[in-house]
C-alpha cells in the first residue's frame, strides 16, 4: 500500500506543481501512512491508554519510545537508525520493542512523560523508565539498545555500584597489608 500511496503523492505533486494548485493530499493521509513513507515502520502510540498497553504487553522486554515531531530535523536524522535497529531486532520481541510518539499529535502523552525537547528517546523495562536520551546522540542510542542483549551477569558487574565497591576494596586491602609489615 505504501508504494501505491508514494506513487500517488509523486504523481499528484507533479500535477499540482505544473498547475500551480496547492497540494493538500498530505493532510488527507493518516499519519501512519506518512510515517511509512518517510521510512518509519515503527508502531505509533497516540494515547496514554495505547502507551500503557504497549508497556504492559512488552513485559520484561526493553521498550524504546521515540518522541518525535515532523518538523524536527534531528528527529528525521535518527529515524532511519531507529528503523534499522527495530528491523535488526524484529526477531527478538521478547528482548526489545520499538514505538514512536508524535508529540504534536499526542500532547497529553508527551507531557505526562515529561518530554520537553525533541528528539527524546525513553527506555522502559517492566513498565518503569530506566533511561532517557534527549537529542540525536546516535552512539548513546546504540549503546542503550545493545544493553538489552548483554548477559545479565556482565550487566551487573559493569554497573556503577559494583565498580565502586571493587574500587573501594582495592584501595582498602593494600593499606591493610602494609600495616601488617609495619
Instruction: Say how far residue 140 (Cα) sits from the centre of its chain.
Output: 11
Cα→Cα distances 39→96, 117, 136, 155, Å: 20, 22, 17, 32
Residue 161, phi then psi, degrees to nearest 5? -65, -45
Active-site positions? 72, 75
How many other C-beta atoms lie within 10 A of the C-beta of residue 115? 22
Q: Report the alpha-carbon distance of residue 74 to residue 141 in Å, rounded.
A: 13
The grid cell for 103 is 508529540
- What are the beta bridge partners of residue 100? 44, 66
Residues sharing a CB contact under 8 Å with residue 140, sequence separation 6 or more, in sequence order: 133
Q: Which helix (H) or strand (E) holds 111?
A: helix 107-112
The grid cell for 131 is 533511561
Amino acid at each position: 500500500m505504501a508504494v501505491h500511496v508514494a506513487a500517488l503523492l509523486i504523481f499528484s505533486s507533479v500535477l499540482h506543481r505544473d498547475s500551480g494548485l496547492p497540494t493538500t493530499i498530505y493532510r488527507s493521509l493518516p499519519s501512519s501512512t506518512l510515517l511509512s513513507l518517510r521510512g518509519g515502520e515503527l508502531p505509533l502510540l497516540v494515547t496514554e491508554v495505547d502507551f500503557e498497553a504497549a508497556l504492559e504487553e512488552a513485559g520484561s522486554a526493553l521498550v524504546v519510545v521515540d518522541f518525535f515531531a515532523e518538523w524536527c530535523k534531528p528527529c528525521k536524522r535518527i529515524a532511519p537508525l531507529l528503523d534499522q535497529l527495530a528491523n535488526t531486532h524484529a526477531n527478538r520481541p521478547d528482548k526489545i520493542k520499538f514505538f514512536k510518539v508524535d508529540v504534536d499529535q499526542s500532547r497529553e502523552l508527551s507531557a505526562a512523560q515529561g518530554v520537553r525537547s525533541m528528539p527524546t528517546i525513553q527506555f522502559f523495562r517492566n513498565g518503569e523508565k530506566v533511561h532517557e536520551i534527549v537529542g540525536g546522540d546516535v552512539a548513546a542510542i546504540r549503546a542503550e539498545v545493545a544493553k538489552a542483549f548483554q548477559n545479565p551477569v556482565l550487566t551487573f558487574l559493569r554497573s556503577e555500584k559494583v565498580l565502586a565497591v571493587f574500587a573501594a576494596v582495592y584501595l582498602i586491602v593494600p593499606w591493610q597489608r602494609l600495616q601488617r609489615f609495619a
